[in-house]
Amino acid sequence: MRVSGGLNNNSISSLYNTLFQGKVAMHNNRLSRDFFPTNNAQGQGTLGMGAMQYISEIKSAASALSGALKDLSGPAFSQNTMVSSNTDVMTVNYTGNNLSSMSDMKVQVDQIAMGQLNEGARLESSALYGGDRGTNRFTIETGGKTTQLSINVMAGDSNRDVQQKMATAINNAGIGLKATVETDAKTNVSMLRVESTNVGTAERNAFTIRDTMGNAAAQTGANEVSRERQDAIFRVNGGEAQVSRSNTVNLATGLTATLRAASEQEVSIVRGKDVNTAISAVESMARSFNNMFSAAAGNIADPKAQGLASRTINISAAYSRALSEIGISFDGSGRMLVNSQQLSRAAENGKLEQFFMENRGKNFGFTASMGRLADNVSTNTSNFVSSSTFGNSFGENFTYSGFGAMNQINAMGTGSLLDYMF
């Protein structure tokens, strides 16, 4: 069941109605099929695979969700590492084991390593192609090897048609080049762009495109070099320029940087919070949340499973606006979605930590509310399986290894039938 659009008041109401109205009777047959009772003369039986799967899914997912939320209430934000003050220019990764010995530093990126780029002529996209028709062949020399490619230009092909045929031929060759056709819809102009996927000035990264039959390369301009390959140039703490053929450079023992853009401003590298740990904890939380919600919402013949699904929706809705500000949203069915870029920005500017920790130790807030529900499902799983489910599955007189049916499960305390099974 899906509801178009995001999780809002209308879709929450729709989900609520779908979860509870008229579903039990529709799925009695499914219950008897999924739970497969095998009662014997003593009234004993074996829990069917359908019931075991549901119980196992919500118990496991709730346990994982509880653990992830506990991480997000403190530990995930307590890990220190070396961090960059401007991740658009440079990101850093510290893998050493002696953080206290690391010194702050400043890095200026004068130039990043790039591959050769050929930008073709800007042609009227929909205009009739003006080059040679029929078979056109061209060679590409790169890495000391020559590869011959061909395209077939048909009568009536437009400039963009031929550009796209060349791009497809180059990409399918698998020779370390990426070809794309860029089109400006406003001006109706398109251009064939061919770039090396390898960076740096190594000779093997150069490429040359030549026509051998027809004039497709010359006509599209794919043979014209618009940017030569180049190495990265950077400076550490105002020192002399250092050159690298790669954008991944070693700055100190256990500390590497990935250069992403040139900048006139220095980037500071200092000790700070490890946002990757927090991001991983959020992603783990989202996976566990979706696993628990999907198992409960999918068991639409069980009122208590639907109760779990609705409680999950209610908590999500209560904090949906605040969650959206850090990159967490919900689809029309209630499943959690994570925007990785927005989540990373929230981690870097401190909003992620503020959201998950501002109500730490209190009885309200998303972390506390969802954490209590996850703990309850994990430790009292029997509360989220209806007695009617067991009745429909096993019959009124069903017993399991000397214990009564569902009316005896909770009497067993922490050693309930569900816990006994696991």
Distances (CA, A) of 64 to 353, 364, 418: 20, 21, 18
Residues 324-351 as b or e (16 or more Cβ within 10 Å = b): bebbbbbbbbbbbebeeebbbbbbbeeb
**What's the chain's average pLDDT?**
81
Q: Which CATH number fits domain 117-220: 1.10.10, 2.60.40, 1.10.357, 3.30.1330?
A: 2.60.40
- In this prediction, residue 79 has a pLDDT band, given cuts at 50, 70 and 90, of confident
Instruction: List, for residues 31-78, the tens digit of each pLDDT value.
Output: 333 333 333 333 333 344 466 778 888 899 999 999 999 888 878 777
Q: CATH 2.60.40 region(s) of the chain?
A: 117-220
Asked if residue 398 lies in contact with residue 37, where contact means CB atoms within 8 angstroms, the answer is: yes
Q: Smallest Cα–Cα separation from 349: which of 265, 405, 275, 260?
A: 275
Lowest mean pLDDT among 30-34, 125-129, 386-390: 30-34
Identify which has the larger pLDDT, 146 or 271.
Answer: 146
Lowest mean pLDDT among 43-57, 75-89, 301-315: 43-57
What is the spatial order of strands in the sheet that 207-213 belongs to? 145-153, 134-142, 207-213
- In this prediction, residue 259 has a pLDDT band, given cuts at 50, 70 and 90, of very high
In the predicted structure, residue 316 carries a pLDDT above the cut 80: yes
Lowest mean pLDDT among 14-23, 102-111, 369-378, 384-393: 14-23
Q: Which residue has the tokens 């049916």?
A: 405
